[in-house]
Structures are given as C-alpha cells and as structure tokens.
Amino acid sequence: MGGALLVCGTASDAGKSLVTAGLCRSLARRGVSVAPFKAQNMANNSAVTPSGAEIGRAQAMQAAACGIEPEAAMNPVLIKPAGDTSSQVLLMGKPFADATARSYQALKAKLEQPVLDALAALRERFDAVICEGAGSPAEINLRARDLANMGLARAADLPVLLVGDIDRGGVFASLVGTLAVLDADDQRHVAAFLINKFRGDATVLAPGLDMLYDLTGRRAIGVLPWREGLWLDAEDSLALEAPAPAPAPPVGRDTLDVAVLRLRWMSNFTDADALAAEPGVGVRFTRSPVDVERADLVVVPGTKATVADLERLRRDGLDVALARRAAAGAPILGICGGYQLLGRRIEDDVESRAGVVDGLGLLPVETVFAPEKLLRRVSGRSARFGDAPATGYEIRHGDPRPDDGAETLIDGEGCVTGNVIGTSWHGLLEGDAFRRALLAWVAAERGRDWRPGDVAFADVRERRLDVLGDLIDEHVDRDVLDTLLADGVPEGLPTLDLRRTACSAS
C-alpha cells in the first residue's frame, strides 16, 4: 500500500489546498505516482469528473498537479451550503442527503467507512496520497466524529503536517496551541510543522523555530515565502477577501472591466479565473449597482440557492441595475444559477421549495427544478461566436427551457436575447477560442481597442502549479517528507499536557 500524509491547517485559508497541490506537483515531477485526497470538503466550487461525479474544485486542481484525471474517491464527501442552515451532502460524487449542521453530525456514522474505503483504494493504486484536512484540527467540539482531520489520521494511521499562516500573525501560538488542545493519541500523529506566507528575512525567524522545537519536540520542516498571484481554483469565498491580482498589461490600447456579482450562495465563481488570465482584463466581485451599470461585462455566476439569491438581488436594487444595463444593450453573461435567475420564471419545488417565482425577465426562459441532479461534461460549438468550439460541465437541478425559436448559444444550449447571454455550462470560459471570441464581442460592443493574449489558459494553470511545486522543492525539507511517506507516524513524539499548566481559580 502506498504512503500517505495528511496536511492540516491551524485555521481555514491557512494554505492547506495550495500546499497539498504543491506537494503533489513536486512528487509528480520526481516520477512518483501520486493522488490527492480530501475526506470531507465544504465548498460550492466543484467540478465534474469524467465519470460524472461531483467533487471539490480544489481536488480537481490537485489532480491536475498530479497529472491525472480527477475521480470521486479524491473527495468522497462534499458538503454544498444551500442556505443559512442547510446543505446538500454528496457521497462519492452523488447527492446523498440534505442536512443541517446538527443533523450532519449524526450522518457522519454512515460516511466514515466510505471515506476510509476511498482512501484505501487510492493507496492501493498510487505510490503516495497527499491528504488535505478541513478547517482546523483544533475544533475540539467536533472531534468526536471527525472525518477529515485527526479522526482520519488515527483511523488511517497518517502522519500530519500542520500548516500555520504567519501573515495573520501569532503563528507560533497557533501551532503550539493547536497541538496542545489535542488529546495525547491525536498529538502522536502531528509529525512536523510548515510555516506559510512568510515575508521578510528568514534569519529573523530562526530563534522562533528553535523555540518551537523546544516547546513541542517537532521541527518546522519548511518556511514558504509569500508569493503574489497564487489564486488558483479557490475553495470558498474567503479567497475573495484578498486583493485580486492586477491584470497583465493590455495588448491593445484599452482594458476591459468585468464585474462579477457577488451572490450570497455563489458557486463556481472560479469560472471567472480564465477571464482574469487574459491581458488587459480586470475582474472584480461586487454588489454595487453602479459597478453593474458601468462595467464592460457583467457576469452573474452560479449559485447553490437560486431563489434566495434572486431575492437578495431585488432587495439590494441589483435587479434594477441589471434591467437598465440590458435596456442599454450592455453585455451580461449568466452562468448556471445566474442564467436561471435572468429568465422569466422559476419553478422550484426542490431546492428552495418556493414554488413558482418570477425571474428578472431578461431572457425568454423558464426554469423547472428536477429532483435528480444533472452532472456531466459537455462539448459543442457556438454559432453565436463564429462556430467557436466550446467545452464545459453541468452541475444543476434547474432545467432552463428557452421559448421556441429563441436564439441559443451552443448547439441548442443556453439562450441569447440582445446582449444578454445565458448558459448552464461551467468551465466554458476556460476554452481559449470561446473566451476570446466572447471578450472580442464585448470589446466591440463597448467600443474598446482590446485584443486577446496568446497564452492558453491551460498553460497558465500549469505554470501556476509549477510555481507551487517550486515552492516545495526550494523551501521544504523533501527528505523529511519522503521519510514520513515511507515510514508513517514517527515514534516517540512528546505530548503537551494542558492539565499540568492549567491555572486554578483562586
């Protein structure tokens, strides 16, 4: 059976996903057969595997780092929030149950064995499996039935690499504190530390690393420097809090401004990543009606709660801004749930159970929600954009039905009315020919002297993955990593005992 390692973080967004991808790319470049794994992922950014399974988009990106196709076993449990209190739970890529935060805890008993079976199957087929934790292992209120962090480490006997984000401050306290609140059997699995997002002179950090070892008996096996532009297939909207990378200089005289509506239950907002990779294209997420009216292109992205986000758009006046934009002939692109809410009517007895709801009325489309979720990869050609080839994937319960005779976008899919376009296809903008034809059309409609770049988006992704691999190769002790993969949990690691240092009330 192949070796495995679990990458945990002291907090969400500490860098687990990118560190995991970097480890995968580093190993793959050395000829190691490697696969990613995340037992339980909570994210509305997802991808469809070749077999029609839905997994977290971060795991699909990590599979690309390994040079392999994604599969359901890489993310056996996916939780997709669909409201303030409810989520859809997918098991091995298919809808399994709807759950609240409380009811999900009881559901975990049914999920544990499939999770362990998925990991074991990957370890049988690959030399190494790099597992990613979820949130923080220090969430001790959730430890009893943990599937993704120390529960997984103990059940599968995995060594744990604990990642801390020094850019947030307090990294030593975060690392020591996370270790200290774990019970002794959990602590035994925490084998080493990794410090992420360091700015400055590493020699200044050295005394702290020595003290970290003195306190815990564990080494920091690497310090990854801060790097701009490591924004790759983000897992959740936390990534949007960071400033977006500045666009590359334009090829023509002008730039294009793309405004993506920041929906509350936004899903697959990574669809906009390919736009941002084009020279002279700036992408920002916004809820400003002024931005909606002024941008060169407005994208209404996917959503896991179409009706709820439609209500919020109306409450915030964004429906009026979109209507004004459409009346002025300014380009609008709706994707999946965004396409559905641009239509005339939504009939939803599945997701929101709201029944019949009026849409924004910008496209002659009626959407009916079906109990079965459609999950598939798709391809075709777009007569609207010069017969450009188009590929993507569908993840939806809603079935948009354009009026008879309405113009479609791709071989009968989607809908076009004036300069308002809708499509159910995620990943469509990753296709270079389609994306560039779309942006050229936007530039012409807006009177901009903008021209596309000549670098394929697939190559942009590969370069970003290589940067992650380079960070691991240059700043992490690979010998220690190889030893952990080969030998598993080290023997004799000390335990921190909070009970010995706890203060008594006087």
| Count of CA atoms in the C-beta half-sphere (13 A) of 360 | 33
For the question of residue 397 being annotated catalytic, the response is no
For the question of residue 8 being annotated catalytic, the response is no
Q: Write phi, then psi, for 312 (nearest 5 degrees).
A: -65, -40
Q: Write phi, then psi, for 505 (nearest 5 degrees).
A: -70, 135
Q: What is the DSSP string of 145-198?
A: G-SSSHHHHHHHT--EEEEEEGGGS-HHHHHHHHHHHS-HHHHTTEEEEEEEEE
Distance in angstroms (rounded) separating the CA atoms of residues 502 and 464: 46
- Among 136, 249, 131, which residue's Cα sits nearest to residue 485? 131
Distance in angstroms (rounded) separating the CA atoms of residues 81 and 44: 7
Q: What is the DSSP secondary structure assignment for residue 12, as one 8-state letter?
A: T
Contact residues for 288 (Cβ-Cβ < 8 A; gap 6+): none
Q: Write phi, then psi, for 86 (nearest 5 degrees).
A: -130, 155
Distance in angstroms (rounded) separating the CA atoms of residues 415 and 410: 9
Q: List strand residue ranges (DSSP E) for 316-463, in order.
A: 332-335, 345-348, 355-358, 365-382, 388-402, 415-417, 420-423
Q: One of 189, 397, 426, 475 is an active-site residue; which one?
A: 426
- Chain center to CA of 324: 32
Distance in angstroms (rounded) separating the CA atoms of residues 315 and 326: 19
Confirm if 14 and 166 have CB atoms less than 8 A apart.
no
Contact residues for 400 (Cβ-Cβ < 8 A; gap 6+): 339, 340, 343, 365, 366, 367, 415, 422, 424
Q: What is the DSSP secondary structure assignment for residue 231, as one 8-state letter?
A: -
Q: What is the DSSP secondary structure assignment for residue 428, as one 8-state letter?
A: G
Q: One of 8, 24, 131, 336 is an active-site residue; which one?
A: 336
Tokens of 130: 């790099």
Confirm if 471 and 225 have CB atoms less than 8 A apart.
yes
Distance in angstroms (rounded) separating the CA atoms of residues 429 and 270: 10
Q: Just list the catalytic residues.
A: 336, 426
